[in-house]
Amino acid sequence: MAPKIVFRTYQTESDLDPAMKLIDQDLSEPYSIYTYRFFVQQWPELCILAYDEDTHECIGVIICKLHPHRRGCMDMHFDSDKMQLNRGYIGMIAVDKSYRNHGIGRSLVVRALETMQKMGADEVILEAETNNQGALALYERLGFIREKRLFRYYLSGTDAYRLKLWL
């Protein structure tokens, strides 16, 4: 039976501990408390947590931001009067291993994208390890494209793809 999941946005500093625990277990890059605070204090509505309704345990998190971005030569399909775009960025996402394959990661991404779009995002970018086939498949099903390969992007020396979605 699929777990009952409750989603909510970041509310207080106490939300950071379970989010950091999940991300530290799942992602290859270490992040300091200051990195987390940079995101959640400026864009709390773009930090979404998933909780198991029965256990009240945090089982998923996505942490994003939205900022102005100067137009590039590849951004010509946007309004030509617009000199800058609002760019969303998915910085971190993690789902507890025992809760995977229930659509939680997809739900977190979709909720973040919907919020970014309401906040005026024109595009969203992220990086994913080239060997993370599950993540790449998820993002590509949602319409992201591989914009470029970033060689030795991660501290481990692993390459990444920068993925982009135009909204």
Q: Which of 155, 141, 78, 36 is nearest to 163 (CA)?
A: 141
Q: What is the pLDDT along the chain (167 residues), one digit of tens a residue?
A: 678 999 999 999 999 999 999 999 988 888 999 999 999 999 999 999 999 999 999 999 999 999 998 766 555 555 556 677 899 999 999 999 999 999 999 999 999 999 999 999 999 999 999 999 999 999 999 999 999 999 999 999 999 999 999 99
| Residue 4, C-beta contacts closer than 8 angstroms, at least 6 positions apart | 52, 53, 54
Q: How long a stretch of residues is the chain?
A: 167
Please return the burial class of 107, using the count of CB atoms within 10 Å of its CB with bins 0-12, 13-18 and 19+: middle
4 is written with which tokens? 């009952």
Which helix (H) or strand (E) segment holds residue 86: the answer is strand 84-95
